[in-house]
Amino acid sequence: MSKEPKETPKTQETIVRFDNVSFEWGINMPILDGVSFTIRRGTKFTLMGQNGAGKSTIFGLISGASVPESGTINIVNGVSIAQSLQVIPRDQLDLTVREFFAKCFKHTVYDIDPRIDDVLEVVNLKGHTKAHDRIVRTFSGGQQARLLLASAIIQDPDLLLLDEPTNNLDKAGIAHLTKFLITYKKTVLVISHDAEFLNAFTEGVLYLDVYTKKIEQYVGNYFNVVKDITARVEKENMKNAQLQKEIQAKKDQANVFAYKGGRLRLVAKRMREKAEELEEEIVDVRKEDKSIRPFIIPAQPDLIGEILNISSFTTMKNGKIVKHKAHISLNKNNHLLLQGPNGIGKTTLLERLASGKADGEKVKEGIRIGYYRQDFSTLNFEDTVYQSLASAMVEGGERLNEEHMRSIAAGFLITGEFIRTKIGDLSEGQKGLVAFARLVLQKPGLLILDEPTNHINFRHLPIIAKALDEYKGAMILVSHVPEFVSQIRIDEVLDLDA
């Protein structure tokens, strides 16, 4: 990665420049093809694109974790970069909080404890733990998301790279992060599917087209940019439709004249040439991001009687475990919404139910559980997608039917090389689509969903919501996205903070 000399004035300085950059994952798997764009100091941009398009790859190229196949990436000399990942690396889960933050720095920081206190305040996590010796794994998913944010912010970088920062955050966490980014004086590049969050601070969009594998750069607030992109596509589609109509008319005329023979053959030739000229005028419209196909999650057959009973549960408040009584009973076609702030114990309750290690909770014997975990730890990262889907089909009581399995997979945009890829090599969004495809094949009697909107392209969410709304088994849902929950039938609510 080359460095370029500083420009003036600083506020208008281009600190990152991609010039004709191309990148591939393995042979014949192009991610970027001749990408060019710039990022100026002090700006706040969103990086958009379909799941698996290569957004995280762009971050890796900026941070130096990856190297382009061709082209140049110029970073102004002295610019510091920090990145907040989507998930905490597995080899860091057993570190203490102090060790986790110490790894953020290349050199030893002797005053790290007060720095940790300050940054935990920024991410609204201060008070959840007074000891910096607490193990990272013991934090909830939402608290781990805040630790990831804090790990980037503590470095006070010139360029802050945030990859899906609102995933797992509750309303208070998102509000805290939004306030921080609005007042942050340095440069920010964010990957997110949360439109309201992005529009609060963004000044433009870098759109990575999954088909052309190029970046389109737009300036303006998030909603205005998306509106401009949509309007442009509609205009170009209308122009192309008119051109196609004219082209077909010329070809039809050419066929008529050619059939009559004689001098009219020359007229027919000119008609064909005119049609070819019109075809060259057709605009190369960016293909819309594909949405997954509408789907249903079949319920385990012959569900009778009570499927789940919760008579008591525990929460974590102010560092203390508190036991509560409850009267929750779920039968077939009952949907339960589980609510509460980050760290109170929602995921812990779901894990107990899924593992059968419950205390005041009981799942009926013989009930097949479909568990969508926010960290995808129910997936074997060493399996290929094919192996993962095949095992789900067997779990669902069916013999392996490759044609049916591939048909289900295609509905979730799992095609071609994707199906032979290891789970661990997929983007987080692609892992999410695999997890939903597995639920369809598993045919669960009890569906447990822990933050199912995380990492998922916004185009897919209404389709997923409809499938959950129509699910006929028992379901427990945890989600901090009100717009998503509002589309799903909820029969009962258990608020752990009530």
Q: The domain 308-495 belongs to what CATH superfamily?
A: P-loop containing nucleotide triphosphate hydrolases (3.40.50.300)
Instruction: Tell me how far apart the alpha carbons of residues 209 and 417 are, in angstroms, rounded to a whole number.
Output: 19
Adjacent-strand bridge partners of 45: 189, 204
Nearest residue to 316 via CA among 347, 286, 358, 290: 347
| Contact yes or no for 226/490 (Cβ under 8 A) | no
Nearest residue to 64 via CA among 1, 8, 116: 1
Please spell the DSSP secondary structure of 318-363, one letter per residue: TTEEEEEEEEEEE-TT-EEEEE--TTSSHHHHHHHHHHT--SSEEE
Q: 175: which residues sit within 8 A by CB, 6+ positions away?
A: none
Q: 258: which residues sit within 8 A by CB, 6+ positions away?
A: 264, 265, 268
Architecture of domain 2-225 in this structure: 3-Layer(aba) Sandwich (3.40)
Nearest residue to 412 via CA among 498, 312, 309, 297: 297
Q: Note the pTM of the prediction, 2 decimals.
A: 0.66
pLDDT (tens, 9 = 90+) of the chain, 498 residues, equals 444 444 444 557 899 999 999 998 766 678 898 999 999 999 999 998 776 678 888 999 998 888 999 999 999 999 999 998 778 888 889 999 999 999 988 888 888 888 898 888 888 776 654 668 888 888 887 788 889 889 999 998 999 999 888 877 777 888 888 988 998 889 999 988 777 888 889 888 898 887 788 888 888 877 777 777 777 777 777 877 787 788 888 788 778 777 776 677 777 777 777 777 766 665 555 555 578 899 999 999 989 999 999 888 888 776 788 888 888 999 999 999 999 887 788 888 888 888 876 677 888 889 999 999 988 888 999 999 999 999 999 999 888 888 999 999 999 988 877 888 999 888 888 899 999 999 999 999 999 999 998 888 777 889 999 999 999 999 999 998 888 999 999 999 999 887
In the chain, where does the domain assigned CATH 3.40.50.300 lie? 2-225, 308-495
Instruction: Tell me how far apart the alpha carbons of residues 119 and 132 are, in angstroms, rounded to a whole number.
Output: 13
Cα 2 from chain centroid (whole Å): 31
**CA geometry: angle at 495 spanning 491 and 498, to 5°?**
135
Q: How far apart are the first and last CA of the chain?
A: 53
Alpha-carbon dihedral angle through residues 395, 451, 462, 203, given to the nearest 10 degrees: -140
Give SS3 for 487: coil
Tokens, residue 431: 């892992």
Long-range contact pairs involving 3-8 (C-beta distance under 8 Å, separation at least 24): 3/74, 3/75, 3/76, 3/77, 4/74, 4/75, 4/76, 4/77, 5/76, 5/77, 6/76, 6/77, 6/78, 7/76
